[in-house]
Amino acid sequence: MVFYALYRTFAPDMEKILRVQHVNDYARYIGAPELHPLVSVIHYDELEHCRHSLNNYDVYALFIGDEELEDLSYGQLQYVLKRHALMCVAPGQIGGKTDMGEEIHTKGWALLFDTELLRNTELGRRMAGYHFFSYTTSEALLLTPEQRQSIVALLEEIRRELLREEDSHTLRIVTSQIEQVLELVARYYALQLSTSATSTNSDLLPRFEQLLRKYYDDGLQQKLGLPTVKYCARQLFLSPNYFGDLMRELTGESPASHIRRFVMQRAQQLLMGGANISETAESLGFDYPQHFTRQFKRHFGVTPSDFIRK
């Protein structure tokens, strides 16, 4: 069958990966209708023969799950997709479940669209602002029934448009409809982040600050340099972008700004304690004293030398 040509085999576990270079690579694999070379809308409930697949994506995709699916993976993470959960993937990401040959009966929707659709469009220029494409699947959007229905209604509109005879307006209309979907996802994620920041992650800021203190207490700056957002997010079991959006919801500032302030306050304490500029820079994890001096002046408005003299 055609889809086997899309597999790549990886040692040592010989795990099969479906390479989704184009949207219809995935549609063809699961037996869904091929509606357009650049856009695919799939309603899993309608499929007669569906199988799991672990996918390597070269396209953008959104998946709405209407039932609980166990043992799915995203990178190195394992997760359970909850009912009415929406997850997003971007080119270069891997996700799904390894095909063991069995047929499955799953429920939900999928929207896949090619990067070529975005070329020279306003939506293409805005894609980087949709941070949820880099959230991990453990940070999936949990939809209320009303939210799900709003998104599904748009997916049905997209599918109806793709089923029409294509004309010069088709792709512009479909691109506009996809943008509406992404804007709804952004709105619903903002609500989830707001709720999560004040409930589930209400202790995020104290844990973040404790993590920064422990970073220096353990001397990690000597091996790793200055603490990074990526490192902190990983230690807090969050993706960098989800961590950043949560912090902005909690404090109004980015994790990078919080880290810089923490480091500069520590620098101030070291200088007041008698350390010189080189010793302070090395103690904090700066590669060069000049880099430390620039950061210090940018933060406090004076150089470390002027600070010491005062």
Domain boundary among 182, 198, 214: 198
Q: Are residues 103 and 174 in the same domain?
A: yes
Is residue 2 assigned to a domain? no
Q: What digits encode the pLDDT tens for the residues 7-59? A: 333 333 445 788 999 999 999 999 999 999 999 999 999 998 788 888 899 99
Q: What digits encode the pLDDT tens for the residues 109-150? A: 999 999 999 999 999 999 999 999 989 877 889 899 999 999
Q: Provide the residue range defining the domain that includes 87.
A: 7-198
Around Cβ 279, how many Cβ atoms within 10 Å? 13
Is residue 181 assigned to a domain? yes
Q: Is the dihedral of CA 251, 255, 260, 263 positive or negative?
A: positive
pLDDT band at 83 (very low <50, low <70, confident <90, very high): low
Over range 236-250, report the average pLDDT.
91
Q: Are residues 172 and 213 in the same domain?
A: no
Query: How many CA atoms, within 13 angstroms, populate the side-chain half-sphere of residue 97?
Result: 17
pLDDT given at position 199: 64
Q: Are residues 193 and 230 in the same domain?
A: no
Q: Are residues 86 and 144 in the same domain?
A: yes
pLDDT given at position 5: 32
Domain CATH for 110: 2.60.120.280
Domain CATH for 257: 1.10.10.60
Percent of the chain with pLDDT over 90: 64
Q: Are residues 147 and 237 in the same domain?
A: no
Is a pLDDT exceeding 80 seen at residue 79? no
Q: Are residues 113 and 238 in the same domain?
A: no
**Total domains, the chain:** 2
Over range 235-240, report the average pLDDT.
91
Over range 72-81, report the average pLDDT.
51
Over range 94-103, report the average pLDDT.
78
Is residue 304 assigned to a domain? yes
pLDDT band at 72 (very low <50, low <70, confident <90, very high): low
Is residue 1 assigned to a domain? no
Average pLDDT score, the chain: 87
HEC string of the chain equals CHHHHHEEEECCCCEEEEEECCHHHHHHHHCCCCCCCCEEEEEHHHCCCEECCEEEECCEEEEEECCCEEEEEECCEEEEECCCEEEEECCCCEEECCCCCCEECCCEEEEEECHHHHCCCHHHHHHHHCHHHHCCHHHCEECCHHHHHHHHHHHHHHHHHHHCCCCCCHHHHHHHHHHHHHHHHHHHHHHHHHHHHHCCCCCHHHHHHHHHHHHHHCCCHHHHCCCCHHHHHHHCCCCHHHHHHHHHHHHCCCHHHHHHHHHHHHHHHHHHCCCCHHHHHHHHCCCCHHHHHHHHHHHHCCCHHHHHHC
Q: Which of 54-58, 101-105, 250-254, 300-304 comes out lowest in average pLDDT? A: 101-105
pTM of the complete model: 0.75
Rounded to 10 degrees, the C-alpha dihedral 166/167/169/173 comes to -10
pLDDT given at position 1: 25
